[in-house]
Amino acid sequence: MAGEPQADCLFCKIVAGDVPATVVRETDNVVAFRDINPQAPTHVLVIPKVHYPDAASLALAEPALAAELLREAGEIAAQEKTVEPGYRIVFNTGPGAGQTVFHAHAHLLGGRGLEWPPG
Ligand code: 5GP
Ligand code: ZN
Protein backbone atom coordinates (compact mmCIF):
# COMPACT_ATOMS: atom_id res chain seq x y z
CA MET A 1 0.00 0.00 0.00
CA ALA A 2 1.27 3.50 -0.80
CA GLY A 3 3.12 5.04 2.11
CA GLU A 4 3.92 1.71 3.77
CA PRO A 5 7.59 0.82 4.37
CA GLN A 6 9.08 -1.43 1.67
CA ALA A 7 11.41 -4.18 2.88
CA ASP A 8 13.68 -3.89 -0.15
CA CYS A 9 13.94 -0.08 -0.15
CA LEU A 10 17.28 1.50 0.81
CA PHE A 11 15.73 4.79 1.91
CA CYS A 12 13.09 3.03 4.05
CA LYS A 13 16.07 1.33 5.75
CA ILE A 14 17.72 4.72 6.33
CA VAL A 15 14.44 6.04 7.82
CA ALA A 16 14.29 2.99 10.10
CA GLY A 17 17.93 3.49 11.16
CA ASP A 18 18.93 0.11 9.70
CA VAL A 19 21.36 1.78 7.24
CA PRO A 20 23.47 4.66 8.60
CA ALA A 21 23.36 8.13 7.07
CA THR A 22 24.69 11.58 7.88
CA VAL A 23 21.46 13.32 8.81
CA VAL A 24 21.48 17.12 8.49
CA ARG A 25 17.85 17.83 9.36
CA GLU A 26 14.81 15.87 10.50
CA THR A 27 11.13 16.54 11.24
CA ASP A 28 8.34 14.14 12.19
CA ASN A 29 7.69 13.50 8.49
CA VAL A 30 10.88 14.28 6.57
CA VAL A 31 14.55 13.37 6.90
CA ALA A 32 17.51 14.87 5.04
CA PHE A 33 20.96 13.32 4.79
CA ARG A 34 24.15 13.75 2.75
CA ASP A 35 24.40 11.89 -0.55
CA ILE A 36 27.01 9.13 -0.35
CA ASN A 37 28.38 10.17 -3.77
CA PRO A 38 28.14 13.97 -3.70
CA GLN A 39 27.96 15.85 -7.02
CA ALA A 40 28.45 19.27 -5.42
CA PRO A 41 29.83 20.70 -2.15
CA THR A 42 26.26 20.61 -0.85
CA HIS A 43 24.43 17.46 -1.98
CA VAL A 44 21.65 16.53 0.41
CA LEU A 45 18.80 14.08 -0.18
CA VAL A 46 15.47 15.16 1.30
CA ILE A 47 12.94 12.35 1.66
CA PRO A 48 9.52 11.71 3.18
CA LYS A 49 9.68 9.09 5.91
CA VAL A 50 6.83 7.23 4.24
CA HIS A 51 7.43 5.37 1.01
CA TYR A 52 6.28 6.64 -2.38
CA PRO A 53 8.10 5.63 -5.54
CA ASP A 54 8.58 9.17 -6.88
CA ALA A 55 7.81 12.81 -6.27
CA ALA A 56 4.62 12.95 -8.35
CA SER A 57 3.13 9.93 -6.52
CA LEU A 58 3.93 11.62 -3.22
CA ALA A 59 2.33 14.90 -4.29
CA LEU A 60 -0.78 13.11 -5.55
CA ALA A 61 -1.30 11.11 -2.33
CA GLU A 62 -0.07 13.61 0.27
CA PRO A 63 0.24 17.15 -1.11
CA ALA A 64 0.94 18.69 2.30
CA LEU A 65 3.85 16.31 2.77
CA ALA A 66 5.21 17.17 -0.67
CA ALA A 67 5.06 20.84 0.32
CA GLU A 68 6.81 20.11 3.61
CA LEU A 69 9.58 18.34 1.71
CA LEU A 70 10.14 21.41 -0.47
CA ARG A 71 10.03 23.71 2.55
CA GLU A 72 12.64 21.56 4.28
CA ALA A 73 14.84 21.65 1.18
CA GLY A 74 14.70 25.46 1.36
CA GLU A 75 15.58 25.42 5.07
CA ILE A 76 18.56 23.16 4.38
CA ALA A 77 19.71 25.45 1.56
CA ALA A 78 19.75 28.28 4.12
CA GLN A 79 21.47 26.08 6.71
CA GLU A 80 24.13 25.20 4.12
CA LYS A 81 24.48 28.88 3.07
CA THR A 82 23.64 28.13 -0.58
CA VAL A 83 20.68 30.49 -0.99
CA GLU A 84 23.14 32.97 -2.54
CA PRO A 85 24.10 32.62 -5.34
CA GLY A 86 21.63 29.75 -5.77
CA TYR A 87 20.87 26.08 -5.47
CA ARG A 88 18.98 23.43 -7.37
CA ILE A 89 16.29 20.94 -6.29
CA VAL A 90 16.08 17.89 -8.57
CA PHE A 91 13.65 14.96 -8.62
CA ASN A 92 14.95 12.33 -11.02
CA THR A 93 11.91 10.32 -12.08
CA GLY A 94 12.31 7.05 -13.94
CA PRO A 95 15.43 5.09 -14.93
CA GLY A 96 15.92 7.14 -18.10
CA ALA A 97 16.27 10.27 -15.96
CA GLY A 98 18.77 8.64 -13.61
CA GLN A 99 16.45 7.53 -10.81
CA THR A 100 18.09 4.58 -9.04
CA VAL A 101 16.29 4.61 -5.69
CA PHE A 102 12.52 4.32 -6.02
CA HIS A 103 11.63 6.14 -2.81
CA ALA A 104 10.76 9.79 -3.51
CA HIS A 105 13.68 12.11 -2.86
CA ALA A 106 14.77 15.61 -3.66
CA HIS A 107 18.41 16.24 -4.47
CA LEU A 108 19.46 19.60 -3.04
CA LEU A 109 22.60 20.73 -4.88
CA GLY A 110 24.62 23.84 -4.19
CA GLY A 111 27.96 25.33 -3.32
CA ARG A 112 29.24 25.52 -6.90
CA GLY A 113 28.15 26.95 -10.24
CA LEU A 114 25.26 24.90 -11.65
CA GLU A 115 24.99 24.83 -15.42
CA TRP A 116 21.72 24.97 -17.33
CA PRO A 117 20.49 22.89 -19.05
CA PRO A 118 21.62 19.96 -16.90
CA GLY A 119 22.91 16.78 -18.59
P1 5GP B 1 18.65 8.91 -7.81
O2 5GP B 1 19.73 8.37 -8.70
O3 5GP B 1 17.62 7.82 -7.53
O4 5GP B 1 18.03 10.19 -8.24
O5 5GP B 1 19.36 9.26 -6.43
C6 5GP B 1 19.77 8.31 -5.52
C7 5GP B 1 20.95 8.89 -4.78
O8 5GP B 1 21.18 8.09 -3.62
C9 5GP B 1 22.25 8.89 -5.56
O10 5GP B 1 22.72 10.23 -5.72
C11 5GP B 1 23.20 8.05 -4.71
O12 5GP B 1 24.51 8.56 -4.67
C13 5GP B 1 22.55 8.08 -3.35
N14 5GP B 1 22.79 6.90 -2.54
C15 5GP B 1 22.78 5.60 -2.96
N16 5GP B 1 23.01 4.79 -1.92
C17 5GP B 1 23.16 5.59 -0.82
C18 5GP B 1 23.43 5.31 0.55
O19 5GP B 1 23.55 4.17 1.00
N20 5GP B 1 23.53 6.38 1.38
C21 5GP B 1 23.40 7.67 0.93
N22 5GP B 1 23.53 8.64 1.84
N23 5GP B 1 23.14 7.96 -0.36
C24 5GP B 1 23.03 6.93 -1.22
ZN1 ZN C 1 11.14 3.43 0.74
Residue whose CA lies nearest to ligand 1 atom number 20: 36
Q: Pinpoint the alpha helices (H) of 17-62.
A: 55-61
CATH of region 10-110, choose from 3.30.428.10, 3.90.1490.10, 3.40.50.150, 3.40.50.300: 3.30.428.10
Determine the Cα–Cα distance for residues 69 and 99; give it in Å rounded to an integer: 18
Q: Which atom of ligand 1 is nearest to the CA of 98?
A: 2
What pLDDT was estimated at residue 107?
Answer: 98
Q: What is the pLDDT of residues 68-96, one digit of tens each?
A: 999 999 999 999 999 999 999 999 999 99
Determine the Cα–Cα distance for residues 75 and 77; give it in Å rounded to an integer: 5
Domain boundaries, the chain: 10-110
Ligand 2 ion: nearby residues, β-carbon < 5 Å: 6, 9, 11-12, 51, 103
Task: Name the strands in the sheet holding 87-90, side by side, starting at the edge strand that comes first in the sequence.
Answer: 23-26, 30-34, 42-48, 106-110, 87-90
CB of 93 closer than 6 angstroms to any ligand 1 atom: no
Q: DSSP letter for 50, please.
A: S
What pLDDT was estimated at residue 119?
Answer: 82
- Whole-structure pTM over 0.85, yes or no? yes
Catalytic positions are: 105
% of the chain at pLDDT higher than 90? 95
